[in-house]
Amino acid sequence: MNTTGFYDTEDVLFPSNNTLDIPCLRIDRQAGHLAVPLAAYGTGRKMAKAKTVHFYVDDYRFDTLWKLPARLLATGATAIVEPNFSTYDTMPMALGLQFIYKKRWLARYYQENGINVYADLNVSSKFYGC
């Protein structure tokens, strides 16, 4: 798989089991035990040593991953918590679905590149069942 960045690669539609084409995660790449140390994305030296990276930080800190997903591959992390783009009950449905699609696409991309993923189920109740 080409890892030079989303806008520099061919379009990839990962397998989906839903009408919205939101990618499915691979069961064989679900993270099991927590590999430590754990660090938040964008924390510099801490992240450079992290085996597991999470995204429970302000969205602007990891927004660039959508354009340059390979950036995370260079960290050497063996597992990630699925990127958590914020969703709210007050946001338009289309925007929330875009954020859910982005987090799932990125997570599947990382799985395809050998990184195990903890699924993030933290979405606004408005988007349950999407």
| 70 alpha carbon, distance to own chain's centre | 12
User: Could you read off the pLDDT of 45-79 as tens digits, one per residue?
Assistant: 788 889 999 999 999 999 889 888 988 998 899 99
Per DSSP, 124 falls in state -
Q: Which of 27-36, 43-52, 84-93, 99-108 has the lowest mean pLDDT?
A: 43-52
Looking at residue 11, what is its pLDDT?
A: 72
Residues 6+ apart with CB under 8 A from 128: none
d(CA 65, CA 70): 8
pTM for this predicted structure: 0.88
Cis peptide before 69, with omega less than 30 degrees from 0? no
* Spans of all domains in the chain: 6-10+28-118
